[in-house]
Amino acid sequence: MRGVEATYRLCALRIACSFRTVSDEAALVIAGQVPLRELIRERKDIHTAAQGGSNATRAELKAVARRSSFGRWQTQWDGSTKGRWTYSLIPKLKDWLERKHGQVDFYLTQALSGHGCFRSYLKRFGHETEDWCPACGSGIVEDAQHVLFECHRFDDERLRLEAEVGARISTETLVPIMLSEPRAWEAAAEFASSVMRTLRVLERRRKQETE
């Protein structure tokens, strides 16, 4: 089972275009993959109901099993200690998983997972010696929260996104705005791409200066 779960995790990482450091919990949510154990339980529940003489169609049995899976997964997601940044952005699985538009990519996933060219992340995994924001001062940690919603370096990009979607973005509003319409998703993805590309350039520049 462990080998199968490892392969399933790898699939989630690839779908989400995420770094391997992202937790299973966050990777599955971002990728929109129901946990493997829940899929196995779904199959078992459908088989049991069908063998028990249920009058429901197979499609109806699948729908019931999937709702049950979502409920258990939501409970697990609520109670997990992992992927908490992702949880702050995507607390409700159903809205995210049943969206009608939007694909994640390398840059958007960095924003959604918090695993990217943020100095707090880079320091955590031994790629930086400091985690403070070089633009805002040593008392401010450069993490996803700060970069996406607070850092003045990205005021212009943030304002363009807010003008495009007609609303202020925050931890609580970003994903609901993205889910509201394709145009909003695309604008948010462009924002994430611009910000994360800039952070990558700055990271490379710091490395060159210390070599």
N- to C-terminal Cα separation, the chain: 45
pLDDT the model gives residue 83: 98
Task: Please identify, among 64, 91, 118, the residue that sits at the C-terminal boundary of a domain.
Answer: 91
On whether both 115 and 62 belong to a single domain, the answer is no
- Burial (Cβ within 10 Å: 0-12, 13-18, ≥19) of residue 132: middle
pLDDT the model gives residue 18: 97
Whether the predicted pLDDT of 50 surpasses 90: no
Task: Please identify, among 60, 91, 122, the residue that sits at the C-terminal boundary of a domain.
Answer: 91
On whether both 68 and 139 belong to a single domain, the answer is no
HSE toward the beta carbon, residue 17, CA cutoff 13 A: 10
On whether both 17 and 61 belong to a single domain, the answer is yes
* Over residues 103-131, mean pLDDT: 97
Task: Please identify, among 36, 67, 91, the residue that sits at the C-terminal boundary of a domain.
Answer: 91
On whether both 111 and 87 belong to a single domain, the answer is no
- The model carries a pTM of 0.92
Domain that holds residue 195: 106-210
* Number of domains making up the chain: 2
- At residue 80's C-alpha, the angle toward residues 74 and 81, to 5°, is 155
Whether the predicted pLDDT of 148 surpasses 90: yes
32: tokens are 């929109």
pLDDT the model gives residue 34: 95
On whether both 164 and 128 belong to a single domain, the answer is yes
On whether both 56 and 128 belong to a single domain, the answer is no
